[in-house]
Every structure is written in C-alpha cells, then in structure tokens.
Structure 1
Amino acid sequence: MTSFSARLLTCGNRRLWTGLAVGALVFLVLVPVLNLAVPVDSALHLPNYMVTLLGKYLCYALLALAMDLVWGYCGVLSLGHGAFFALGGYAIGMYMMRAIGSRGVYGNADLPDFMVFLNWQELPWYWFGFSQPWFALLMVVVIPGALAFVFGWLAFRSRITGVYLSIITQAMTYALMLAFFRNEMGFGGNNGLTDFKDIFGFDLALPSTKMGLYLASAVVLGLAFLLARFIVTSKLGRVMMAVRDAESRVRFLGYSPTAIKLFVFTLSAMLAGVAGALYVPQVGIINPSEFSPANSIEIAIWVAVGGRGTLIGAILGAFAVNGAKTWLTGAAPELWLFLLGALFIIVTLGMPKGLIGLWAQSKARLFRRSAVTEEKEARHA
C-alpha cells in the first residue's frame, strides 16, 4: 500500500466512513431506484424534475465545499467564488454551443446562433478548441485556476487580508459580470449561452442523460470531499489552520503563508469551476447573472449556516439553505431575501459554529445530563 493510500484510509474515523456510506447509499442507489424502478403512479416515485433539482443541490454543495476549504480552514473569505463557478459553467457551455452545429435556429455549423444574430463574420480565437470535449474539460479547471492564481499571487503577495481581500474579490466578480453582459465579449451578452442539445453525444432532453449528470455530480462531490478531507487532516491542513488563526506566527516559524493561501485559493477555484461545469448542463443555461456578487455572498451564507471549518457542514448548509429557498420562493417569494438576511444574522450571533456546532452542543448537553443522572443513581444506590 502506498503512503497516499495509507493516509487516505486513516484520514477519517469510523463515523466519517459510515456517513459517507450512508450518503452513497442515498444519492447513488436510493434516488436512482426511486426514479427509474418505482412506477410513475406510485407515491414513492421520484419525478425527473426532482432528480435535476437534487443535481443542482449537489453542485451547490461542491461549491460550498470549495468555499469552506479556503475560508473555513485558511481564513480567506472570498466573495468572488461565484465568478469561478460561472467561468467553469461558461467553459462547458461553449463546448455545448459548438456541439449544436447546424441544428441551431440559423443552421450555421460554424457560428453559434447568437453570433449569427449579431452579424459576427467569424468565430473569435478564444472559441477555438471548444469543439473538442477534452479541451473544454481542461478549460473547466484551467481558466478558474489561472484567474485565481494570478489574482491570489497579487493579493497575498501584497499581504491583503480580511475585509479588504473580501471587497477586492467582490469587485473582481462584479467586473466580470459587467464584461460578460457586453455583446462584444462574444459570450452571448445578457442572454448568455443556452438552447443546448447534447453533451458528449448524449441528448440532454433524455431522462437517462439527466440521471447520468446527477450521478456524476454525486460522485464528484464525494471525491472532492475525500480530497478536501485528506488535505485538512494532513500537515498542510494544520499549517492552513495556523495561518487562519495566527498568520504572523506562522511566518515567524519560517512557513510561507502566501504560498499556502495561494495553493488553497487556486484549488478551491478549480473545484468551483467543476461545480459550474456540472451545473450548467442540468439547468440548461449560463448567463452573466451567475457572476452577481450576491451569489458569492450567498455561498458564504451556506457555509456559515452549515458550520465553517467542518467540510460536512458546508455540504449540509448548501442543501438546507437551497431547500428552504426552493420552498419559500414558491410559497412566499417576497419573503425569501428577508429570511436569508435574518438567517445570516441569527447564525452569526447565535450559532457561530452553524448547524454542525449546534448538533455537537446538543450531544454534549445530553451526555452531561446522562452523566449527572448516572451519578445520582449511583449515590442513591
């Protein structure tokens, strides 16, 4: 057994692996069975739209995991992760637009429909290569990773931290949003990229393709969780937490906080890009609204609600907040934003460790009560 395999097998306790097994059973077995094997007229049948909805939640969970890795363990509050998510989505969206070929509205095999409508005469150079699936998949991680590396190198090298770094990351995603809204950029402007037909040769309208995308999202989330868990339980993870808690002391001890934060920030951006690439085929559109700074703030809320610096809490927070959003935007859409703001305030003031911390506190109280009860019984005996 290699040292990497040994480290991976010992990176968690029995409870962790039990939780992963239960999650795999639910998302990889139960959901497909309820959708494919249970009759449509049964009360237990899971409709196709719910499969797509769960797939979106899995993508959001991967995005929250990426945020927790850099914020919860390294102390870097990025309010620009929505940009990395959107860039990954645009990369796969460009491939799917090229895959349409002559099946578009205008029947032009060389140009996407929006370019024909805007009287473009030739394909921009930065669209070259996106007709190949391997190139698109490579760009899904390279483009967000390269942007994060350049941005992080400039910011961390200048020792920009705290709220100033958060503001700069928010300014970055806002600038990208304004740029992508322009038709001259060649990314569809306000409408973005849509009307996709297939992905890697599979028809996106087929339920089997939707199920495949859902399963891919679940598997990638599981692998990303194992990778993040491996990192945070390693020596690098301990140094990351030291940078989060006392950066000046880490620098005094001879470590480079700049290199550590740059590595984690870049890796986190790449994971966010993968989340965006899995998200776009399932929702069928990518437009500049995904760059909105409000989206990046919402990602931070998911992590805060679930429990910052826990990994599993980020995943739980993404499911909890987005589940509430889906329900409330249908039941009382005018109240959703007020509830989201109130939720963030409540968590910040009353539950600083999120839902995971609340659960741990509840278990600790029950344990103390049980211990007190046993002690009283022992005295009476």
Structure 2
Amino acid sequence: MSSTPSRPPIRRSTERALWWGCVVLLSIFLTTIQLAATKPYPLTDFDRVVYMQAVEPFQHRVLVPAAVRFIEHYIPIGHRLTFGLIEVTVWIILFALAERALRLFGVGQGEAKRRLLALSLAVPMAIVTLMPDLRVAPAFIIDRGRLELGEWHLQYLFYYPYDLPAAVFTLLLVLLIIAWSQRLTGPRLALICSIFTIATVNRETTMFLIPMAGLLLLPHQPWTTILKVLALLTILFVAVQLPLHWIFAANVNPHASLVGDLPYEQHWAQNLAQMSQPFYLLAQFVRLAGGCLLPVLLWWPYVDPRLKRALIGFVLPLGVIALFAGRLVEHRIFVEIAPLLWLAALCAIRGRVHQSTAVRVTAAADRQPSGAAISQAYSVHADPPESGDRNP
C-alpha cells in the first residue's frame, strides 16, 4: 500500500510575502472605497486644506496637508491621488502595528494566526471610517393600518485626512508606553516624545494620551518620574498647539459656538436629540468600532489590565469631550479608540476561551487518571512556537 507523499511546508518567507501582499491590496481597496464613499466638508475641501485656507480647528491639523503640499511640489500629481497614496501608506502601517500589538499581548499563537487576526482590524476601522450614518426619523410608521419602517436613509460621512493617521499614532504610542513602562530609559522617552509631538501636529486629540500615559506608567514607575513625563508631554502639547492656533486664527469657523473664542462647534443638544431615538442608540453600540465594545463590556474581567488602563485613561475623557464638541453620528471622531477596542476585544475573547478550556480540563481531570489528565491538558494548551517567534 503506497503512502501519500507529504507536502513540503510553505516557507515562512513566502508566507510573509503573501501577507504583505494582502495588506497592500486590502489597503488600496479600503482607500478607494473611502475616497468614493466620502467627501470633504465644504469648508475643508482638498484645495482649502492644502493651501492652508480651511476653517479652524480643521486647518491647524496640518501634518497630512503639509505632506501633500510637499509631495506635489516635486511630483506633478493631483490632490485626490496624493491624499489617496498617503491613505494607502497609513493603512499598511496600521495593519503592521496590529500584528505587533497581537504579539505584544500574546493573542494568536504563531505568526500565521497573528497575521490573519491582524487583518480583522479592517472590519471595525472600515465601519468607523467608511460606513454612512443611518438616519431614522421615525423608526416605524403606520401605513394603511399596518406597521411599517419609517423614513430611513443614509448620510455619507465627511473625509478628513488626519483621522486614520490619528489612529496609527495612538496605537503606536500605546504599544511603546506599555512595552517600555517598566524600563523607561532616556532614549525611549525621547522617541515617545518625538512621536507624540508629530501626532499632536496631526490632531489635538493627543491631549487624551497624557492621562492615559500616567495610568500606564503608574504600576511601574515612581510618582516623581510619572509627573515629570506628564509635565513634559503637556509642555510639548502646548508648544505645538498654541502656535498652530495663532497661525490660523484668521481662518474663522462660521459655525464655532462652543465657548468664547474657541474655534470648535457645539453639538451637545444635537447629540442628545439624536441618541434619544432608541432604535438609533441601539444601532450605535454595534457601529462603534464594529461591535468591539460589546465583548469588552461583556468580558471586561478578561481584558489585559494594561489595556484596561489605556481604555479608561483615553476613551472616557475623549467620549465626554466629544459629547459637547463632536458630532456623535460621525464615528470617525472615535477613530483612535477603534484599534484599542479591537485589541481589548480579542484579549477578552482569548481570556474567556482559555477559562472555558481550563474548566473542561479540570472536569476531565476529576474523571480520569492523573496521567491521562496531564496528557489532555497538554494536548489542549500546547502549541509549539515557530522558529524565531518571540514577543518583543
């Protein structure tokens, strides 16, 4: 009886190349959908943003527009293509960071599993950045004596070039602070501060990274070190944001109405009115980060403690401020928290699955001899690491 020859294993270099190819193709696809399904806000269209004529506070988020203007100075391409190329690049970096995040938190055993899981970040990110808003007014009506759906229609989102880079900077800084919190050397702190400064040029929501950094450092560093780090980040934030506000003070936002001379719009009444619609409010729990909030809330005890501190320090203050100064129907304002919720959801699911597995193994141990129980436990949990597969 002839034996079937075993297939040669796929080389890891081939797997890696295929994964990067998938990342590039997926990034191009997401970018084309985003440019087709969204449009710039009329007061912040591509021409206004690139030539620094958009209204505040949108214009002082200047990192990507400045990069576009620099590129177009040397290469004869148009605004949409330039923004699109940058967007593709940022998507690629985001997926690479997602794979590193899974490695740092031990989610997914083996490189192949982690890479596959990393691509799943596309779902919550696409829902936040691409999916139109659902307008429900009213949810149901009576049509000829029968219950029928009301006036439902889609309202497409606006495109802002700083949204996706903000998510990348946030995830990168969270990973660096967590990885280096126990041994925060001078060069490491300098790198964190440099990335924080660039991220602040991109968008001022980096202010919420400051309390988050304090919570992440709290278990590992003395109070004096933590206070120095927070003071340094605060100084850097002010040093970047104040000049930008002064430079673009003449770019008046006609809809600004928050407090005093601040260029931000007030939306709290509109947000409360929108969320008072029960059907709409329920839908938003699924739409927020692609439903990743649900497993995080359900299995909060299984979330990694470091991610818990990141969520509490960043998500809660961002949510409170967004209630007043942001339009909650535009989920892109929460784009920074989508990768964090996605990562926390995977950690929660992993912890819950491991707990169920441990319960089954313990129950089996009560019914089997000790040697059989040990063998079963090993068969359930053992997953030999791949060559060179180590956490950073």
Give the alignment's TM-score, normalised by structure 2: 0.26
Higher helix share: 1
Q: Name the larger-Rg structure.
A: 2
User: Which protein, 1 or 2, shows the higher relative CO under an 8 Å CA cutoff with sep ≥ 6?
Assistant: 1
Give the alignment's TM-score, normalised by structure 1: 0.27
